[in-house]
Structure 1
Amino acid sequence: MERVFVNYLVLFAALISASFSATVQSTPKPNIVFVLADDYGYNDIGYHGDQIKTPVLDRLAASGVKLENYYVQPICSPTRSQLLSGRYQIHTGLQHGIIGNSQANALPLDSPTIADKLKESGYATHMAGKWHVGFYKEEFMPHNRGFDTYYGYLGGHDTYYTHMINYKSKPYLDWRDETGPVFNESGLYSAQLLTNRAIRVIKGHNPDKHPLFLYLAYQSVHSPLQVPERYEKQYKHIKDEHRRLYAGMVAALDEGVGNLTAALKDTGLWDNTVFIFSTDNGGTVLYGGNNYPLRGWKGSLWEGGMHGVGFVAGGLVDKRSAPAVAGTVNRELIHVSDWFPTLVRLAGGSLNGTKDLDGFDQWDTIIKGNKSPRKVMLHNIDILYRRRGKPLEKYVHIWDTSVRAALRMGDYKIITGEAKNGSWVPPPDGRHYDLPVIKDDPNKNLWLFNITGDPYEHHDLSNKEPEVVEVMLRMLKAMNETAVPPRFPPSDPQSNPALHGGVWGPWQ
């Protein structure tokens, strides 16, 4: 009798264990939808400025977590490479410039992409939009870097209707899917094409088979300034043509995100989705963008070049937050390279097989409000960029201050070399803004700011706090010693699309 009772207990325990295991295993992995806007200014989302309206993005951000100490890179390829790899550009050789369509250059194959890792974790992986991390060989194409499907363009920018980019002043098609060039989309606006493709992916997705990873990298709002008239008409009161067209392009982007999220809700995927919105760099003032009150714009090492617009929303954010995070403003230090470990671990994946990452898992920082594990953030070290001024003798034993570089350490940010376009540009709304007058010596090549106390970079502390300068220059030196040589090859004449059916694509 006693043996029967013991056997019964063992059987009961096994049933309970099996039931618990089945419950754990039946908990679905989260869907992950990452939307990346292009050249989107800090002042150009509704909750940062009042000239351009973004009701969809505002509602999404208000339902989740606004990332207000979030950083990307000053230009396109570096941001995208760090998002996909979790590694600083000094560790991938992409620390100088962007990847040109005719350059034999790409994000190296020595480490998996985020799509590779999520696919390894059981995800269906899809991409629509701008690639811009190299395509000169077939193995660098999106469908060979972890994405099951791809639809969009490979280079840095296209026309929005004809989907072409020039080579030696002649336009060639840069629009394709994973099977090859797509020739029949001319005349259709890219923001709508990309949104519609993403919606088709969502509607065709079977959540019973796989969780979803969707990377939607909009062309909007990069130049050229093109938009259907109905969007521009919403801003007919804006007199500046560039700003008016840009505002219309933002409206089209906002509508696209609204249609995308509606599809996620209609298909029942939203409740188990983490939705991330980010820009790739600051806005381009010459093409209608605005980063006020930040200093500088796209391409610069000032805050306006790389202090990103970003937020996290989605049905799963509310479910997993403790306490609820709706409307939270997160001011912890977060970098675009952090998405790689954050999302791979959120998906239950492994970081095995990756090279040393520069990103940190920020999920508990975002959802629970924990302190960021990131204390230091390298903006870049570019030894190929033109030098500015002469190395300061005071620090020459540590660092050549004529070299273009920038680093964040806690509250402090240091810039050396050529920072580029460092003015403050007010939003063109007709109001008066009392902005500082820049009187920097053209050979000045060292700045130090307390970004927490002076987020708009008005007060250079480099002469007042030499001890901080020295510590940060030593840190730049140590980081540079880990760098791989930068790759920036000349244009390859074999890339000429005229040699490949009039279409941009792999040529080696």
Structure 2
Amino acid sequence: MKQTLFSISFFCLSSSCIYASYFGERMNVVLIMADDFGYECVGANGGGYDTPYIDKLAKEGIRFEHCYSNPLSTPSRVQLMTGKYNVRNYTAFAKLDRKEITFANLLQQSGYATCIAGKWQLGREEDAPAHFGFDKFCLWQHTQKAVDAQRCDTRYANPVIDIDGQTIDFPQNTFGPDIYCDFILEFIRENKTKPFFVYYPMVLTHSPFVSTPDSENWSPIRSSTYKGNPIHFPDMVKYTDKLVGRVVDELEKLQLRDNTLIIFTGDNGTSTAIVSLLNGKTYVGGKGKTIDSGTHVPLIVSCPKGLRDEVNSNLVDFTDFLPTICDITGTSIPSSLELDGKSFYSQLKGKSRKVRQWVYCWYAPQKVCNKNATVFARTHQYKLYRSGEFYDVQRDFYETQPILEEQMTNKQKKIYDIL
């Protein structure tokens, strides 16, 4: 059921806008979020993987060095889609409170065609995607479980997917990531003459770690283990990059690329089973942990007409995506939503207005219990937990030695008080 509880009024962006008003039409937005895909997975960030299409997006846009998510999937998705910290609206793992309004609700009400394809994991109600603002959907882990009767994973080989209200058990030799991507490409073709919003929460590169159709020894059989084999992870990163390239190529083919903003990120850190390289140094995935390797994710914002090849070192967190997308598309936000996020739209235009000074995280992934939640606030260098533990995360990456109050410099004491 589509949201009808509020109305949206349009406002015009200033003549200095590098997006919608520049082209005389509203900007399309494609938000791509890879699963369990940390900062170190992107070559342009100094990662050890080959990601030419994602790197090209960075070359055609802005690469953010300090974007932070929550350490796990559902908490990050709830935060991203609503613009609010989990302390205010998180109810349970694999659920999104139906009272919440998402970025898709807002854009749909403002005239955008909306689509989601990939991983859902936000509630098994049949109408859930439509309720949260999506006209079209192609989703894994929506009404169906993540595994089949034999406990084999259903997202990759021969997937089980809900497509616009119909559950399809795909046959042998099909690969889920291709199906989700194909659905998005068809949606773009069908809506090329109107403004559209695509949310593409990929299933790659989450475990089970499996071969892909481009691997030398692809196995079109569902994985029977939760983890799979980490040896396949580089091929999964490569396939992720390939699918990003397919989206970009289709936009260029339809002559939509200059009026489409592409945002690429990851939902949380890479699996702890994966050991990568970052700037030539060993980097172990930190999914589920509140250290940097669990929360530091890539963020690239790309549009050939209007953005330059540059690096942005300002802080961004997942509450910031909703207000930024609304700014870009000229979509007003009802004051009743009381968002936590800060739009970084001005930064895309080369300005430093409203730069975030801190990032906040409230993390209780399985069962909501404020007493047991892990809570922290941080700057680029320092992190303060609700427990009182205070770390210099640039010097102490794994947060093993909290700085005691009597050891703090005057500068550190001021930062501690702010946080």
- TM-score normalized by the length of structure 2: 0.80
Provide Cα deviations, 1:114-139, integer angstroms capped at 9, x if missing partner.
Answer: 0010111111101111112222x345
- Counterpart for residue 148 of structure 1: 135
Deviation at 1:63, TM superposition (A): 1.6
1:43 corresponds, among 40, 44, 52, to 40
Residue pair 1:275, 1:312 contacting (<8 A) in 2 also: yes
CA distance in structure 1 between the partners assigned to 2:347 and 2:330 by the alignment: 18
User: For the residues of structure 2 that align with 1:214 and 1:55, how far apart are their CA atoms?
Assistant: 22
Confirm whether residue 262 of structure 1 aligns to residue 249 of structure 2. Answer: yes
Structure 2 counterpart of 1:221: 205
Alpha carbons of 1:148 and 1:185: their partners in 2 closer, same or farther (altered >3 Å)?
A: farther
C-alpha distance 459-119 of structure 1, shift in aligned 2 (>3 A):
same
Unaligned runs of 5+ in 2: 1-19, 219-227
- Distance between the aligned counterparts of 2:231 and 2:303, measured in 1? 31
Query: Cα 1:77–1:232, aligned 2, differ >3 Å: closer, same or farther?
Result: farther
Q: Whole-Å Cα distance in 2 between the matches of residues 385 and 149 of structure 1? A: 31
Report Cα offsets for 1:195-219 as digits up to 9, x if no partner.
1111111122232xx2010111110
What SS does structure 2 have at the residue aligned with 1:192? helix
- Within the candidate set 90, 98, 102, 1:113 is matched to 102
Mark the CA change 1:179 to 1:347 in structure 2 (over 3 Å): closer, same or farther: same
**Pairing partner for 1:196 from 182, 188, 198:** 182
Name the larger-Rg structure.
1
**TM-aligned CA distance change 1:254 to 1:383, over 3 Å:** closer
**Alignment identity in percent?**
24
87, 92, 112: which is aligned to 1:90? 87
The answer to which structure has the higher strand fraction is 2
Deviation, structure 1 residue 257: 0.9
Q: CA deviation at 1:467?
A: 8.1
Work out the CA distance in 2 between the residues paired with 1:156 and 1:287.
30
Checking the alignment, whether the CA contact within 8 Å between 2:113 and 2:196 is kept in structure 1 is yes
The worse-fitting range, judged by mean Cα deviation, of 79-88 and 187-196 is 187-196
Task: Name the amino acid aligned to 2:408.
Answer: E
Pair 1:458–1:60, CA change in 2 (3 A): farther
Task: Classify the secondary structure of the residue corresponding to 1:364.
Answer: helix
Q: Which shows bigger deviation, 60-69 or 347-356?
A: 347-356
Q: Distance in 2 between matches of 1:46 and 1:353?
A: 40
Amino acid at match of 2:56: R
Deviation at 1:39, TM superposition (A): 0.5
Note closer, same or farther for the CA distance 1:453–1:376 as it changes in structure 2 (3 Å cut).
same
Counterpart residue identity of residue 413, structure 1: K
CA–CA distance in 1 between the matches of 2:23 and 2:37?
39
Which residue of the partner structure matches residue 77 of structure 2? Answer: 80
Aligned to 1:448: 390
The separation in 2 between residues aligned to 1:87 and 1:405, in whole angstroms, is: 15
1:29 to 23, 26, 31: 26
The separation in 1 between residues aligned to 2:144 and 2:62, in whole angstroms, is 30
Which residue does 2:377 correspond to in 1?
Answer: 407
Q: 2:342 aligns with which of 355, 360, 378?
A: 360
Paired residues, number: 384
Aligned mates of 1:122, 1:40 — CA distance in 2 = 32
Q: Is the 8 A contact 1:72 1:306 kept in 2?
A: yes
The Cα offsets for residues 436-488 of structure 1, whole Å up to 9 and x where unpaired, read as xxxxxxxxxx5422346766757642442298898888888xxxxxxxxxxxx
Number of the residue aligned with 1:123: 112
The letter of the residue matching 1:85 is T
Task: Give 5+ residue unaligned stretches, structure 1.
Answer: 1-22, 100-105, 159-163, 235-240, 388-398, 418-445, 477-508
Question: What aligned pairs does 1:303-452 form with structure 2 within 5 A after superposition?
Answer: 303-315=292-304, 318-319=305-306, 321=307, 325-326=308-309, 328-352=310-334, 354-370=336-352, 372-382=354-364, 404-409=374-379, 411-415=381-385, 447-451=389-393
Q: Which residue in 1 is equivalent to 2:55?
A: 58
What is the root-mean-square deviation of aligned Cα atoms in Å?
3.6
Deviation at 1:273, TM superposition (A): 0.7
Query: Cα 1:370–1:456, aligned 2, differ >3 Å: closer, same or farther?
Result: farther
Relative to structure 1, is the Cα distance of residues 472 and 26 closer, same or farther in structure 2, using a 3 angstrom cutoff? closer
In the superposition, relative to structure 1, how do residues 107 and 473 fare at CA in structure 2: closer, same or farther (>3 Å)? farther
Q: 1:144 to 1:174 in 2, by over 3 A?
A: farther
Q: Which residue of 1 aligns with 2:13?
A: none
Q: How far apart, CA to CA, are the structure 2 residues paired with 1:198 and 1:49? A: 29
